[in-house]
Amino acid sequence: MMITNARESPAKRAHKLLSSLNCDGRYGLTLLAGLGFLGLLATGGPPWAARLQYERASIGAGEWWRLLTAHWVHLGTRHLLLDAAGLVLLWALYARELRARTWLLVLAGATGVIDAGLWWGQPQLQWYLGLSGLLHAFWSAGAAGAALRRNALGYLMLGILATKLAVEQYRGGSVVTEAFPVVSASHWYGAVGGLVVIAALALRRKPL
C-alpha cells in the first residue's frame, strides 16, 4: 500500500484530496456555482442588497420576492466571506450525505420556515439578510442524515449545533462575530426547517 501511494501522480493525489472535501467533479462545480452566485449578487453593493433584503414594510406592500432573495445578499464583504466560509465547511462535511433532491427540499423547506418564523414570530424585526439561517438548515439536515446512518460525527455535530443555538439564545447574538448585527432567531428557524424536512422524509421512509 505504501508503494502504491508513493507512485500516485500529483493529479491523483489532488483528486483524492478534493474528493475527501466533496469538491471533486459535479460537487466541486456546484460549490463553485453557489459561491459565484453569492459573489455576483455582492457586486451590486448596498443598493442592490437593500432592494433584495427582507424588509417587512416592503413585503407587506407586495414585494414578496424579498422572502426568497433576502437569504442570498449580504451587508458587506466580511459578512459575505463569513457565510461563504461556512458554506464551504458544511459542504466539505455533508455534500455527499444527502441526495441532490433532498438538499433542494431542505433549501425550499428551510426558506419557508425561516420566512414564516421571521414574519409571524418576530414582528418587531424590520429587516434581515444573509445566508446564515440557511447554513444552519444545511448543518442540521446534514448532521441528522449522518446520525440516521449511525454516524458518530452526525450525533456530535447535532450536539454542537444545539449548544451553539442555546448560547446564542442566552447571549442574544452570534457566537461567531459581533462585527455586525445578527438575527440569531433565523438560526433557530433554519435549524428547525432542516430537521423538519429530514424527519418528514425519514417518517415516510423516503431515501435521503
Band of pLDDT at residue 2, cut at 50, 70 and 90: very low
Name the class of domain 2-203.
mainly alpha
Find out whether 133 and 114 touch, Cβ atoms under 8 Å.
yes
In the predicted model, what is the mean pLDDT of residues 141-164?
Answer: 93
- In the chain, what percentage of residues exceed pLDDT 70? 87
- In the chain, what percentage of residues exceed pLDDT 90? 66
Spell out the alpha helix ranges (H) of 95-151.
Answer: 100-116, 132-148
Question: Nearest Cα to 106, choosing from 32, 204, 205, 199?
Answer: 199
pLDDT digits (tens, 9 = 90+) for 111-137: 999 999 999 999 999 999 999 999 999
Cβ-proximal residues to 28 (8 Å cutoff; 6+ apart), any chain: 18, 22
Its pTM stands at: 0.89
In the predicted model, what is the mean pLDDT of residues 149-159?
Answer: 91
Question: Domain ranges in the chain?
Answer: 2-203
